[in-house]
Amino acid sequence: MLCAGGSAMTEQDVAVRRAFVVLNPVAGRTTPDAVTAALEQAFPAQGWAYQIYQTQPEDDVRSQVRRALDEGCDIVVAAGGDGTVSMVADALVGSDVPLGIIPAGSANVLALELGIPGTIPEAAALLAGDHTQRQLDMMKLGEQHFILQIGVGLDALMIKDTDREAKRALGRWAYMRTLARNVFGFESPRFTIVVDGKRLRPRAAQVLVANAGTLGAKPLTWGEHIQPHDGHLDLCVVKVRTLVDYPRVIYQFLSGRHPNSTNIAYQKIFRSATIASDRPLPVQADGEIIGTTPITVSVVPKAVRVVVPHAAQASPIIGMMRRAGQAQQQGEDGMTQQDEQAAQQTQHSIEQALRSIRTPEQADKVIDDLEQMSKGVSEHTVAQQVPTPESAKAAAEQVEQAAKAPAEQRPQAVIGEVAAQIAAAPSPQDQEALSKGVQQATQPSADHPAAPAHERQLLQDALLRRLGPLRKLDTAVFLAINSLPHPPLADAFFIGLTTAFNRGDAWAAGLIAASLRDSRQREVLREVLPALWLTAATVEGPIKQVFRRQRPFISVVRAVVVGRKPGNYSFPSGHSAAAFGGAYLLARHHPRLAPLLFGLAGLVGFSRVYLGAHYPGDVVSGAGVGMALAELFRLVGKGVKRQIRR
């Protein structure tokens, strides 16, 4: 079904660029009206005319796209899920016309892979505005081309058995629910796989030919080495023989350890791969069921051009901030000497900026300006759009440049620039260096007394006055705990405690030691350890990444102001989740020790606030999430054992 946009294609104005939009009206949880509104907002203002084609089940999408190519369109836009993107990309193979993506499906894997904005208005604005293009490889199966992944096994069964209503209601979680159901009773088939002439005979629960590595949602991935523009494909074979293997494989994927797992094998495909199985199995390609085994998949390098953001595209907020400011030796905390210098440089710039604040009125204006600059901007957007600094030193130099702004604009420029550089930092080590500079400038300690104290207090008071009741209480408690004396002995104790309980390692060590001394504790070990590690991996992986992607940029700005470690993805506290999850599991077996166990967990939570890593609310939420997940994974483990005994 064709419908014209507000600035429809005409032959009267040849200067107008023309877009053909393929819109799947039943994709994901969006509506055609939302896509149309975003197009109308973004395209005409940038000199684009557009025509929308709404797909119908019986239509041949590929022929519609090829007709638009013959008529001379400048871009073909796929507005839908990965299946829609794949169909449009297939029609564009061999053409120089680029593919634009408006992610409107349930998973939107390719958009995530390429860093395309996750909201429909932002994606439309990218297509209509400044962008670049990237050539991607594709996979040929029969006469069709696919762009993401072709799978046989549990993933195809999951897609086949998940109905559209569940996908619209639950999004990607609908797939997870179906997968959990299919695991029980699934018997791994024997595969015969021929890769570039080499024959393999694995028994596996999943065989995947991957052109892109993302597994459902970042940061989950089949492997960081899998890229859609590297000129080859990657074969992934997941070997699961019994139900006991599933928790191990799930944990390996959640924790990022699967590339080195004995349960998972990888093989590069430079020409083609043929996959057959001992019984016919459904095959999914880019999220759609396309047939059954056997199949042959071929590599098609540089098959299609796709519109993507610039790696270093300036955003309005950063422009405002910038205009306002117009073989190494290891040091402490595992940082290099250059990182230590970057921390000191950042500290000096922040202290210089704080000295420009003389009155409560000036502090109010600083906070008002920062709030206005950050309005409606997410940390994820800033991280994508700010030029990525080459190192922490380069980022600190940008902050130092901001400190040269006029005195009345200096605090806004420096604080905004620090927050932006932390969001854009290319590695956790660079974030750590900048965060350390922030904490040295804003927190008291034995080695680095925070200064200037009066000006810092004015700014923090101004921030507190603008927060809602709960956030104000959370921040005030953080400041009260964090401003306690920090003698070296206390710092060393809390650093050691928080290190020991990272991922629940202290609980695990205690359990292993107890089981070696008392064989009766081995059953406790078998129940507690998998649930504990799955809890820690789930919080540190998917849960934190969801909140990281959605976190408003103003949260980073506020963290700089109050001195909370701004590079940390704070909500919820992973240490607290592991500490309280472990305490809960152990207390079920040793109820008399419950006060000691939960007291120790509470001390871990306190240490996270004392060290400036988390707000109290992060600790409380981490404790609750940790105990809930621990109980969930305990029940799952119990169910797995029952199935095995049958």
Residues near 549 by beta carbon (within 8 Å), at least 6 away in sequence: 118, 218, 378, 380
Q: What is the pLDDT of residue 172?
A: 55
Kindly tell me if the per-residue pLDDT of 109 is higher than 50. yes
Could you tell me which of 295, 289, 286 has the C-alpha nearest to residue 142?
295
For residues 81 and 28, is the Cβ–Cβ distance under 8 A?
A: yes
Axis-axis angle for helices 173-183, 154-161 (nearest 10) = 120
The candidate with the shortest Cα–Cα distance to 231, out of 269, 285, 194, is 269
Predicted pLDDT at 332: 38
Give the pLDDT of residue 569.
54
pLDDT at 169: 60
**90 pLDDT tier (thresholds 50, 70, 90):** very high
Q: Strand order in 264-269's β-sheet?
A: 264-269, 233-238, 206-210, 149-153, 282-285, 288-292
Select the more confidently predicted residue: 486 or 302: 302
Report DSSP letters for 186-204, one per residue.
Answer: --PPBEEEEETTEEE--B-
Q: pTM for the whole thing?
A: 0.51
* pLDDT at position 356 over 70: yes
Out of 419-428, 526-535, 572-581, 609-618, give the one with best mean pLDDT.
572-581
User: pLDDT tens across 436-492, in order?
Assistant: 777 777 765 544 444 456 776 777 777 777 777 777 787 777 777 766 777 778 777
**Low-confidence winner among 114-123, 268-277, 398-407 (lowest mean pLDDT):** 398-407
Backbone φ, ψ for residue 317 (5° rounding)? -65, -40
- Rounded mean pLDDT, 372-389: 68
Domains of the chain: 2-130 (3.40.50.10330), 149-306 (2.60.200.40), 316-466 (no CATH), 492-645 (no CATH)
Q: Looking at residue 555, what is its pLDDT?
A: 61
What is the spatial distance between Cα 22 and Cα 84, in angstroms, rounded to a whole number?
8
Q: What is the mean pLDDT of residues 26-44?
A: 83
Mean pLDDT across the stretch 59-86? 89
> Which pLDDT band, with edges at 50, 70 and 90, does 183 fall under?
low
Q: What is the pLDDT of residue 167?
A: 59
Residue 88 has pLDDT above 90, yes or no: yes
Q: Is 504 left (phi over 0), alpha (psi -120 to 50) or beta?
A: left
Tokens of residue 524, six digits? 């406790």
Q: For residues 14 and 216, which has the higher predicted lDDT (pLDDT)?
A: 216
Q: Is residue 310's pLDDT more than 80?
A: no
* Position 331 confidence tier, pLDDT thresholds 50, 70, 90: very low
How high does pLDDT run on average in the chain? Answer: 77
